[in-house]
Structure 1
Amino acid sequence: MNIKAICVGAFALSVVGGVAFAGVLDEPSNMQPFFADSGMKTMKSSADFETAWKATPKGMQVSMMKECNDAAMSKPHAQFCAQLFALGHHS
């Protein structure tokens, strides 16, 4: 096999694979409504968080809850998931 073809193939798989592992919690546009600052470091108050949650489309809510219930996916988003679970949104 040609080494160039192998390298290009490996690169293509890594790019495609990386996109496949990104979840809804990794998308800034999905998470921004739950944060009080543009740098997404400070969560909104419980009341504002709940308001943002209710404004989130149902399909997105299901995806977010699914990721929060997955230990590996939720780890980088522990603060968000803890706030979600505090509202009683877990299974």
Structure 2
Amino acid sequence: MTKLLCASAIVLAIMTGATLAAGEKGTSALDNPEKMAPFYTDKDMKTLKSDADFKAAWMALTDDDRAGMNKECGDEAIAKEHDNFCKMTKELGGAN
């Protein structure tokens, strides 16, 4: 019985560690609904707002937030997943 409990504890620790590591790897500010909601017309974040509204939301961010989002858009995998958003940020010249 003791061996079974120890083995179960080890398996649980390994599974929890793997889950936490995978969760950290896939995190992006561009996946944060609170940060991204101002750029979209719908809660599913599929339709971008108009150019003027997008620019207003972009300019309302801090310089650090804009820099972080631009950096994430530089990652191919993230940029592909957030294609339209990243295109708009590039059109705005990053921050202005």
Q: Which has the larger radius of gyration?
A: 2
Same fold (TM over 0.5): yes
Equivalent residues in 2 for 1:2-41, closer than 5 Å: 2-21=6-25, 22-41=27-46
> How many percent identity over aligned positions?
36
In the alignment, the residues of structure 1 paired with residue 7 and residue 79 of structure 2 have an alpha-carbon distance, to the nearest angstrom, of: 38
Runs (4+) of structure 1 moved beyond 2 Å? none
Offset of residue 13 of structure 1 = 1.3
**Partner deviation per Cα, 1:14-42 (whole Å, 9 max, x = no partner):** 23213312111111111100001222111
Question: Secondary structure at 1:7's aligned position in 2?
Answer: helix
The unaligned stretches of length 5 or more in structure 2 are: none
In the alignment, the residues of structure 1 paired with residue 34 and residue 43 of structure 2 have an alpha-carbon distance, to the nearest angstrom, of: 11
In the alignment, the residues of structure 1 paired with residue 10 and residue 67 of structure 2 have an alpha-carbon distance, to the nearest angstrom, of: 39
The unaligned stretches of length 5 or more in structure 1 are: none
TM-score (norm 1): 0.85
| RMSD (Å) for aligned C-alpha atoms | 1.9
TM-score (norm 2): 0.81
